[in-house]
């Protein structure tokens, strides 16, 4: 059963503007399935996981593109980076033909890659200006519930208006933690695979196909331990030396391995808001897993009930909210780094999220409880930035949007994406 993805619209919009599209995303989040659904049957399809196709692409990229003419979807393009040069030549040749004949340009190539660490340099150097790049992640809650999503905004008047038109069913905190524990991987959400068996295979496949050639083979066991230790630190500030010491590696290796996790879409690093007031601000990013189900598996939590009541429950709830927002931005082809930050200073005053745009700063707190005590106590620290501080949000497990005080509203987590 195909579940409609919010990113479909962004893919089609990019197809109107570029002769090539690159769809990035972690393994098994549904890139190929979505593209098969979005593009018509007249598109050729080939995967470089196929040994024969990969060998031809490596030995003779020009012949490969002649045998597999455009329009075409090429999966796992990172396996043959040399193919990008041949694609560039084809695009430039076809552009001249379109220009000479005064024809409308068309979409020629749709490329997917699950290992951005290997691919992004080749794309930026070879296909710059010729391709639209789109990020894709695992399912959001809205997608799992088959409900339309909007690009997130913290503007309370817009959220109230959308919530009045909303028909989604309220989810209790226990139900939210069931969603957190399950995660957003399509095969689990559609009941194709049993959760624990799936994630065990996922970790093995990820290490075998994406990581092994990027690290020393003898470090594979250490890298498995490294991923689990990173998972235990989701929603925390990133301290390389502390993680390196726990794993038994040097800081340089730790930074490289974290870079692999980030560029392959496993984790996201949320940057602190600096502006021009950086002398007292904590400068380390915060680390979040992009799929809470994978994170819970790596932390070895046996079920959602124990996860809800464990010492890490607040961190998992925060991770869930942040990852839902990041995935929402990706789905609308918007860079979350242009809007989302966190705040913490050396006086230990912290705000979980800041949404920053030309209108001002919107503070956002994330609390797993209902009606948390004084959640907006640190909002006033933002006054020093000499920017307009807008009405804030406290994202929690309440049942509807309601005012908390004169500077903030509570916002139900189950309504994220309305």
The pLDDT of residue 64 is 96
Token output for 289: 């897993």
Closest CA to 258 of 286, 217, 283: 286
- Beta carbons of 380 and 374 less than 8 angstroms apart: no
The pLDDT of residue 117 is 64
The pLDDT of residue 218 is 61
Are residues 282 and 174 part of one domain? yes
Are residues 32 and 104 part of one domain? yes
The pLDDT of residue 279 is 56
- Beta carbons of 271 and 341 less than 8 angstroms apart: yes
Are residues 373 and 282 part of one domain? yes
Are residues 363 and 325 part of one domain? yes
Residue found by looking up tokens 């979409």 in the block: 107
Residue 96's domain comprises 8-135
Q: What's 16's domain CATH number?
A: 3.40.50.300
Whether residue 1 lies inside any domain: the answer is no
Closest CA to 69 of 43, 31, 107, 96: 43
- Beta carbons of 238 and 287 less than 8 angstroms apart: yes
The pLDDT of residue 128 is 80
Q: How far is CA 146 from the centre of its chain?
A: 19
What tens-digit pLDDT sequence spans the chain (418 residues)? 789 999 999 999 999 999 999 998 898 999 999 999 999 888 999 999 899 999 999 999 999 999 999 999 999 898 898 899 999 999 999 999 999 999 998 999 999 987 666 677 678 778 888 899 999 999 999 999 999 999 999 999 999 999 999 888 999 999 999 999 999 999 999 999 999 999 999 998 887 677 777 777 568 889 999 999 999 999 999 999 999 999 999 999 999 999 989 988 999 999 999 876 555 567 899 999 999 999 999 999 999 999 999 999 999 999 999 999 999 999 999 999 999 999 998 888 999 999 999 999 999 999 997 767 778 888 988 888 888 999 999 999 999 999 999 999 999 999 999 9
Taking CB atoms within 8 Å and a gap of at least 24, the contacts of 380-385 are 381/343, 381/345, 381/349, 381/351, 382/343, 382/351, 382/354, 384/277, 385/275, 385/277, 385/361
Are residues 154 and 103 part of one domain? no
Q: How many CB atoms lie within 10 A of CB 209?
A: 15
Residues 111-139 as b/e (b if ≥16 CB within 10 A, e otherwise) read: bbbbbbbbbbebbeebbeebbbbbbbbbb
- Beta carbons of 178 and 144 less than 8 angstroms apart: no
- Beta carbons of 341 and 356 less than 8 angstroms apart: yes
Whether residue 61 lies inside any domain: the answer is yes
- Beta carbons of 412 and 398 less than 8 angstroms apart: yes
The pLDDT of residue 41 is 85
Question: What does residue 120 show for φ and ψ, rounded to 5 degrees?
Answer: -65, -35
CA-to-CA dists, residue 105 to 18, 92, 94, 146, 296, angstroms: 8, 11, 9, 34, 46
Q: Which of 112, 135, 158 is the last residue of a domain?
A: 135
Whether residue 3 lies inside any domain: the answer is no
Tell me the β-bridge partners of 342.
Answer: 272
Are residues 357 and 212 part of one domain? yes
Are residues 158 and 57 part of one domain? no
């Amino acid at each position: 059963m195909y579940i409609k993805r919010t990113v479909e619209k962004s893919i089609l919009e990019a197809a109107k503007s570029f002769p090539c599209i690159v769809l990035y995303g972690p393994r098994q989040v549904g890139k190929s399935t979505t593209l098969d659904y979005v593009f018509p049957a007249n598109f050729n399809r080939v995967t470089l996981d196929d040994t024969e196709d990969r060998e031809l692409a490596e030995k003779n990229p020009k012949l490969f593109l002649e045998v597999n003419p455009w329009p075409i979807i090429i999966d796992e393009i990172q396996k043959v980076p040399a193919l990008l040069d041949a694609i560039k030549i084809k695009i430039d040749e076809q552009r001249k033909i379109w220009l000479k004949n005064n024809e409308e340009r068309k979409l020629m190539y749709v490329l997917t890659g699950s290992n951005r660490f290997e691919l992004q340099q080749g794309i930026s150097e070879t296909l710059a200006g010729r391709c639209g790049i789109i990020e894709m992640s695992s399912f959001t809650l809205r997608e799992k519930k088959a409900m339309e999503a909007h690009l997130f905004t913290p503007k309370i008047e817009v959220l109230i208006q959308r919530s009045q038109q909303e028909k989604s069913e309220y989810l209790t905190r226990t139900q939210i933690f069931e969603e957190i524990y399950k995660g957003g991987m399509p095969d689990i959400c559609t009941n194709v695979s049993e959760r624990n068996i799936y994630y065990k295979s996922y970790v093995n496949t990820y290490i075998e196909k994406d990581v092994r050639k990027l690290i020393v083979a003898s470090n594979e066991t250490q890298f498995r331990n490294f991923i689990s230790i990173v998972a235990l630190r989701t929603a925390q500030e990133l301290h390389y030396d502390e993680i390196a010491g726990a794993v038994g590696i040097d800081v340089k290796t730790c930074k490289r391995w974290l870079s692999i996790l980030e560029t392959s879409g496993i984790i996201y690093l949320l940057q602190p808001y600096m502006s021009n007031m950086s002398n007292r601000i904590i400068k380390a990013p915060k680390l979040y897993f992009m799929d809470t189900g994978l994170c819970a598996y790596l932390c070895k939590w046996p079920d959602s009930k124990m996860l809800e009541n464990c010492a890490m429950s607040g961190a998992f709830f925060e991770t869930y909210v942040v990852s839902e927002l990041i995935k929402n931005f990706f789905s609308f082809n918007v860079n979350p780094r242009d809007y989302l930050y966190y705040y913490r200073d050396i006086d230990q005053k912290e705000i979980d999220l800041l949404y920053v745009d030309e209108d001002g700063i919107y503070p956002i707190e994330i609390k797993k409880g209902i009606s948390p005590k004084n959640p907006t106590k640190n909002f006033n620290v933002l006054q020093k930035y000499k920017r307009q501080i807008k009405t804030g949000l406290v994202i929690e497990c309440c049942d509807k949007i309601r005012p908390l005080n004169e500077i903030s509203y509570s916002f139900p987590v189950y309504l994220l994406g309305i």
